[in-house]
Structures are given as structure tokens and as C-alpha cells.
Structure 1
């Protein structure tokens, strides 16, 4: 089980699988995020966040809502990313996902909301060491992204675990097909993050 955020609005993903009377389910329902990029005009950004807060839909007796806000660095500018993160944080207390493959950009945004324990997206084969250090330094959960390559995913997860990074969510891409079952392995029993929100 991985916890994103703090307080009453925290989101839990993953957790133990339950098998009871032939009912196969997870304790924690799938968390759904909306993606906002750091090049959005401020009025549009705030509008999207407010609409995310207010959204709910009743589906056969189940209330569906949006659970997280993901802020993506499309500008590749640390200052713009930091400003966007601050604006979102001021507009909502929903849990956050900070999204950039550049560790220096990610840390700039993280410094603005480090007490809120956002999910960091994402460690890859190219940056996993720096991302792992960032996750440990600020005690934040970390997503691991290895599109359509389960062998590399296993390797990254094993290395991060050896470093002491335990709160991991896995992204195997959106074209993995039946191979997604291979994530159920002794080193890979972590929650899966989905597509298309987590795609650069």
C-alpha cells in the first residue's frame, strides 16, 4: 500500500489482494488524476483545479470522483514549474503528482509542497538513482516508468528497494498487453499507475 498526500485527503493505492467468496478485489479503489501542465494560463489552471474538486458522478450507487492533481513540466523551466505547483497547491488540498523526468525541475516544484507528500513521477532507467535520492530525502512516494520492458522495470525496482525506497508505483506503459501480469512478482508487487495521465 502506498500513501499519496497527507491528512484527510490522502489517497491510498495498492494494498493486499482480497479473495472472499470468489470476490477478487483490492481494498483501495483506483485513484484517478487530472493532468495540468505548467504552461497553462493561470485562469485556466485554477478553473481546472476547482472543477476537479467539485466533480462527482454516481454510477450504479458508487460515487466517482477525481482524487489527485498531476502537474506536468512541459515548459522544462524550473521556475515555471515551481510557480504552477504553488498555484495548484493554493487552489486545492487534494493530493498531488509532480511530473518531470528532470530531477532538478522536479525538486524545485517539490520544495514548494514537500510537506504534502506528493507522488514523484518518474524514475526511469536513465534517472533512477537521482530520483531515488530525491524520494528518500523528502520521504515521498515514487513512480517507476519502464514502457513495455518488464525486465528493466524489475531491475529498477530491485535497485530502489536496495536503497531503501519502498513506496513505489509502477508504470508499464499503455501497450503492454498480457505481460502486465508479470508485475506480480516478488520484487514487483506494487500498485500500478495508469495511462494516459502518466505519459511524457
Structure 2
């Protein structure tokens, strides 16, 4: 079991130096016990104390890295508003080795096409899960090799046959795929194979009691790079298991279940499958394997994931640089807004609808909206003038008109005085830009 704050404090140097970022050793010990601090922050802790405190210093859910920069786990809270979630759920597309070569190539091409841009953010599918269903070790190895050659995305190799897994894994060990599954029947061979190749392995058992027992046995083999699969394949059971595992790991510091968890969708109708996947993304799955790979299905899931895994204290922002909409020229209007993505893309969308090519300069307001930024002193004439000079707008247009949001009309006088440009008060809401743009011609 994890140590309490007072137990940790007894092994602290008690210098109260503050170098760890908190004022006292007692406060640091309490933060360490709650998983909100790292033992590495203390420069004076002894090696003996460090060894004793390993269990307290370790995150409640171990971080597991595999494939192309995929990170699972390493979460410290149950709810995002408590702190934040760090590693978005890894989304993986299910590919069976029973597909024909033509079907396989078509599936891979569809997966490679899962790239999106939304509100200035790039979305892409994280990886591919290749599943042995053919019963043919040679076919499994061939399909794995084909997928690996066609994409550099993270790979998950799934087979209950250690020999088939060995053959498929050998050429790809350097790409560090996640392999599975280690069950009660094959865990020794599968865990040792993962250990030999330094790749993480999925530990699978039916139910949490059996899973805990199997994890303890697997750890006894001298390896701890695990991802858990509680074996449930219905939404209600999977949700319950995901929640129980997260609570035990975070609240009780229960180490046998302190690993990332993978979930598999089972619904056959694509929209129902996406709904099922949203449950797992929202409630604690570190990775989700799903069959549908249609863009129209995947984008909503990725959007939900982005919303959940965005730090609530750090709004999504666009780059504070000069943007152009349409075929701009020296007569194009020049709009000012903030770099809060929702604000910026609302403005950009309406400017595009107006069909009047225009320049838009989002001011760096730390991702806040117009009124919030103005109230916080982040949308002031001095800052706007500085951004105008930096972006070189004066060299791009021959007029000297700057359109500001109607909500901050009060800054128009000072802005004109400081910039030498005419500050034109635009509409309060972006929805008024279309009609407003007609008055400019």
C-alpha cells in the first residue's frame, strides 16, 4: 500500500528549503502522497530514503510508451477539473489477418487517410491493431509486415499464440509495438517474449480479481511494462471495470492495477460503435480498439477526445500571426480579434462567408475571448499596435483602416492615436460580419 504523508515526512531531510517548489518538507510530503509532486523535485533526499519512497513517488498509473510516441497511463486524477488529464486515449483501428490482400490494402489506405484539421488542430489516428484470426502464424506475420511497411503509426499485435507472436514481432521489435495478450494459459511465454524484446505487453484476465492475480504472477517474472485488459466485452461491464480500476489506482494506490487499460468495442453498427467508444474515452480507457475507419465516424470521436483532454486552464489557441482569408490584396479589409480558437474561427468563418478577401490578426490574449481579454488588460491598444508592427500589415495594404470588435469600441480612440490608423468599430458578434462587410464596399 502507498505511504501516508506523515510516513513520507519522516524520511524527508526536513530542511524546509523550498527548493522543491513548496515551502516546507511536510507540505511536499503531503503533495507526494497525493501524487501531485515528484520525488525528483527534492535535491536533498538521501538514496536510502529514495529507495524507501519509490512506491509513494511513482505515479498511481504507470506510464507505458510504445510505437510512434504513444504514451498510455501516467494519469493522477479521476476528474479533469481536479487537475488535468495528460495523455489522450490512443485510438487504434482493428485489422484482421483474415482479410484478403486486396481488402487489407484498402483498409490500410483508409486508415492512412484518417487525417483531419479542425479549429487549427491536426487530428490523426494513432495506430493499428493487427489481430490474428486466421489461425495461421505465417499469414499473421505477413499481415503485420504489410501494415508496418505501409504506415509508421503505432502498432498493436494481438495473438494468443506465443510462437506466432514471436515470428511477427522479431522484425519489428525496434518499433516497440504493444503485444498481447498474456493470459493465465500463456503469460510466462508472452511476458518473457516482451521482456526479451523490451516491448510492453497486455495482461488479460476475466474480471478484476483474476486480473490482479495474473499481474502479480507476471511481475514475478521480473517485468512491469504492462497494459491491462479486464476481459469485459460489453459496454456496461467495461465501463464498470474501467471505473473500478481507475479508482483503485488513484484513490487506493493499489499497485497491481496501477497500469493503463485497453478497451475493445463490440458493436457492429458503426455509429453505435462510436457511441460505445465515446464511453471508454470519457471514462478512463488509455487505448481503444475499434473496427470502423470511416472519416465521418472517427472525426466526432477525435473531437470528443480533444475536448476531454484539453487542459481546462489552457484554452485552445491559434497562432497569433497575420492570417489571410481568400485572395487578399492591398485593398483587403483588416480585422482584429483574439487568439481564442473559438473566437478566431467564428470570425474567420463569417469573413469567408462574406466572400470579401480579408486579413485577420489574432492578438495573443492567452486564449481568452474579446471581453474577457479586455477585462484582463490583454486586449489593449498598446498590445494591438505592437502586434500590427510585428506582422507587417502596413506593407500589405495601402489603406489605413483597422476593424475592431464592437464590444471594445472604447479603445478605438486611443488605438487610432497610437497606430496612426483609423479604428473602425465592427459588429459585436461575428455573425454580423457578413452584413458589415457590405458597408465597406
- Bigger CA radius of gyration: 2
Distance apart, 1:180 and its partner CA: 3.4
Residue 120 of structure 1 is matched in structure 2 by 179
Residue 167 of structure 1 is matched in structure 2 by 225
Aligned to 1:2, which of 56, 64, 72?
A: 64
Greater helix proportion = 2
- Ranked by relative contact order (alpha carbons within 8 Å, sequence separation 6 or more), the top structure is 1
Residue 182 of structure 1 is matched in structure 2 by 244
Greater strand proportion = 1
CA displacement 1:108-159 (0-9 Å, x = unmatched): 1111312111101111111111111111111110011123x11110011112
SS in 1 for 2:93: strand
CA displacement 1:47-69 (0-9 Å, x = unmatched): 22222122134567765431011
Residue 137 of structure 1 is matched in structure 2 by 196
Residue 71 of structure 1 contacts residue 97 of structure 1 at CA under 8 Å; is this kept in 2? yes
CA displacement 1:155-198 (0-9 Å, x = unmatched): 11112222222111111123245343332222211111011238
- Structure 1 stretch displaced more, 118-127 or 178-187: 178-187
Residue 261 of structure 2 is matched in structure 1 by 192
What is the aligned-residue RMSD (CA, Å)?
2.4
Q: Where does the alignment leave 5 or more consecutive residues of structure 2 unmatched?
A: 1-62, 266-288, 291-441
CA distance in 1, matches of 2:147, 2:196: 23
Aligned to 2:86, which of 15, 27, 34?
A: 27
Residue 152 of structure 1 is matched in structure 2 by 210
Distance apart, 1:38 and its partner CA: 1.2
Residue 125 of structure 1 contacts residue 146 of structure 1 at CA under 8 Å; is this kept in 2? yes
CA distance in 2, matches of 1:35, 1:78: 18
Residue 13 of structure 1 contacts residue 28 of structure 1 at CA under 8 Å; is this kept in 2? yes
Structure 1 pair 136/66, CA: closer, same or farther in 2 (3 Å)? same
CA distance in 2, matches of 1:21, 1:13: 16
Residue 127 of structure 2 is matched in structure 1 by 68
Residue 74 of structure 2 is matched in structure 1 by 15
CA distance in 2, matches of 1:34, 1:159: 30
- The alignment of Structure 1 onto Structure 2 pairs a total of residues equal to 195
Residue 45 of structure 1 is matched in structure 2 by 104
SS in 2 for 1:194: strand
CA distance in 2, matches of 1:155, 1:77: 31
TM-score (norm 1): 0.87
